[in-house]
Amino acid sequence: MERHIFLENGELNLPLISKTIDAFSYSTDISVTVFDANMDIVLESLKKNKICSFFNVYNQKQSVCGNNLAFSSELAAKLGESYIFACPSGFVNIAVAILEKGAFAGAFIAGPIAMGPIVEDTVNELFRIHGNSTDVFSKVTLFLRNMKIYTPTQVNHLGYLLYSCMMSLYNCPAEYEKANLVYREQVKIGEDIHQLKKMNVKMVYPYDKEKELIKKVKMGDSEGTNEIFRSLLNEVLLIEGGNIEVIKARVLEICAILSRASVEGGASLQKIFGINFDLINSLNAIETIQGIIDWSAKITDHFVQNVFGNLYSGNSYLIGEALQHINTHYMNKITLEKVSGHLHINPSYLSKLFKQEMKTTFTQYLNQVRITKGQELLKDTDMEIMDIALYVGYEDQSYFTKVFKKMTGTTPLKYRKI
């Protein structure tokens, strides 16, 4: 027999489910009813212990009981765990939804369960709702008198036990874990929004954090980038109220900003294009807020560490700042004097420190950055060579060609054809 809640044809595996609910019922003396996706009853265990069996209306889908069961079963599906609820007659029931590929496919309902003393009003309410003739009055009264009374703690344990029985029918409970995670995320966001409204805090998009994020990325500050990104993402989650698709769109916008900042900070165009292509595909597949948070942490690390990791490995803060300035402004008229002025130090001192740390001169390093950018543009774009020369900081195409050949061993034109 197939050891799974669904058979290969997609139908419920009723023999296996029957064994499972019988194990629960005969261990607890509580009836379990199994409903399919249309909320039709397909199985019942220990029906004799179910007070509903005295009343014909309980299995009618459009009745007050049927509507209550359908609503509670769907809510259990959203929770991804057992859901304890009260029926119209005041008894407690436990619902665990059956999920198939994330969709509602039925439910286990354990109960009704008595939680608290049964009084005369309980009997009167039963007959008021169900409208049965008085010929079963004595039978119902006797049944109620013999019902076991459960405490709230016991009912909670029963809920976990029923949930565990359901999980035993699945090869992998990932669908329930996903549903439960989504629900808890929504609750947390809702609570945060409610708290902010109570405090009369106006929620607006944090552009200041976005600017700070750009600054951290350009500096190659991995820890700072992650910290700002997390803070920015938390505010986006609140502003968008937990709407997954809108949050994804916002995150992609932030990644576009990161891409621009990375290129301005010295990142490879080729690397950035590759990152962005993979980014969109992986982000689209995410279905939970926690998944977006985890993904964001990985991508900021990728931007900062992979893109900036080989820029500088020395210990001098000044040289680190100088490299950052060069990689950000290489396309402009940049000189040793301008960079030293930016750092508020003597040009001679910067020149000496640069050669000591980088094992090359300031000018050689600047040319290396410019030629590397030129190589990327020659391979990745259709820009004219003259335009590339201007873009990377050379006013004269012939001088660009001369430096290019000296550093690569070939001309820009031949490099493009390789």
Give pLDDT tens digits for 288-316.
Answer: 777 777 777 777 766 665 555 444 445 56
In degrees, rounded to 5, the angle at the alpha carbon of residue 59 between the alpha carbons of residues 58 and 65 is: 45
Q: What is the pTM of this model?
A: 0.46
Q: Which of 188, 183, 189, 239 is nearest to 210 (CA)?
A: 239
Distances (CA, A) of 177 to 102, 163, 164, 288, 326: 11, 12, 13, 11, 49
Give the whole-angstrom CA distance, residue 108 versus residue 307: 52
**Range ranked top by mean pLDDT from 25-34, 99-108, 346-355:** 25-34
Identity of residue 63: S
Residue showing tokens 């402004």: 329
Percent of the chain with pLDDT over 70: 72
Mean pLDDT of 273-285: 63
The tokens describing 53, both together, are: 């069996």
**pLDDT-derived band of residue 2, with 50, 70 and 90 as boundaries?**
very low
Q: Which long-range contacts (CB under 8 A, 24 or more apart) does 350-354 make?
A: 350/318, 350/322, 353/316, 353/318, 353/319, 354/319, 354/322
Q: What confidence score (pLDDT) does residue 288 get?
A: 72
Mean pLDDT of the chain: 77
Write the pLDDT tens digit of every residue in 133-148: 556 676 777 787 788 8
> At residue 60, does pLDDT exceed 70?
no
Give the whole-angstrom CA distance, residue 33 versus residue 414: 77
Minimum mean pLDDT range among 144-153, 168-177, 388-397:
168-177
Minimum mean pLDDT range among 26-30, 113-117, 255-259, 309-313:
309-313
Directed axis angle between helix 269-284 and helix 362-380, to 10°?
50
- Tell me, rounded to whole angstroms, the distance of Cα 23 from its chain centroid: 37
Distances (CA, A) of 45 to 11, 34, 246, 357: 19, 9, 45, 79
Contact between 373 and 330 under an 8 Å Cβ cutoff? The reply is: yes
Directed axis angle between helix 244-264 and helix 222-239, to 10°?
150
